[in-house]
Amino acid sequence: NAGVTQTPKFQVLKTGQSMTLQCAQDMNHNSMYWYRQDPGMGLRLIYYSASEGTTDKGEVPNGYNVSRLNKREFSLRLESAAPSQTSVYFCASRGHLGGISRFHEQFFGPGTRLTVL
Amino acid sequence: DQQVKQNSPSLSVQEGRISILNCDYTNSMFDYFLWYKKYPAEGPTFLISISSIKDKNEDGRFTVFLNKSAKHLSLHIVPSQPGDSAVYFCAAIRYGNNRLAFGKGNQVVVIP
């Protein structure tokens, strides 16, 4: 049981290049999320998917697209990377197990550190 | 607009003493609150939570207190240990919603 996995761990891009960040979870969770973490800014939600087949914008969606490929996988795509997208990206998932006390708990992956030059 | 606020970005405390982290929220519709802990180069991990129907929840060395009238919660770590050195995020949500609102985090350094 690996939980939430993310690939790659590190990536360096040049401005204008594109790439896809991959995320997979093996906990049979319905909801999945993409966050970015920047110094002094906390965790900001980019996009989320409440269930397979649905996606919604978070607070900072500009410059990103997402795909909920199936229940396990949720990818984040940068079509034309910009230096402002240099950040650490976290994927998370949430299930409905564990009763009310754990209903809102999100499980996070280890992160992808992205640098755009 | 920041709905969850964590002031005092960093805290240093001696090993064995109490660490107190504070969190304020503006949305009165929030009814569930969580604390996450994050080590460098790792993802955040869930630490403890509290429902708005309670004013205290305790789990080992960690206790969260909720003051609904003041829209304020705090995390107490007693006694603090060097392994508690991390960034702590406060988060809030309205039950049934999909999105957590996170604070900016507090860096805690426990000095041996």
Q: What is the pLDDT confidence band of residue A102, given thresholds at 50, 70 and 90?
A: low
Judging by beta carbons within 10 Å of its beta carbon (0-12, 13-18, 19+), is residue A61 exposed, middle or buried? Answer: middle
**Touching A: B residues 13-52, CB under 8 Å:** 32, 34, 36, 41-46, 49, 51
Confidence (pLDDT) at B95: 78
Chain A residue whose CA is closest to B50: A101
Asked whether residue A99 carries a pLDDT value surpassing 80, the answer given is: no
Query: Per residue in A2-42, pLDDT tens?
Result: 799 999 999 999 999 999 999 999 988 889 999 999 988 88
State both tokens at A14: 């040049």
- From B39, B97, B46, B112, select the one nearest B75 (Cα to Cα): B46
pLDDT at A63 over 90: yes
| Tokens 């809030």 belong to residue | B92
Residue-level pLDDT, tens digit, chain B, 112 residues: 789 999 877 899 999 999 999 999 999 999 899 999 999 999 999 999 999 999 999 999 999 999 999 999 999 999 999 999 999 999 999 877 888 999 999 999 999 9
Contacts of A9 (CB under 8 A, 6+ apart): A110, A111, A112, A113
Q: Closest approach of chain A CAs to the CA of B31, in angstroms?
A: 11
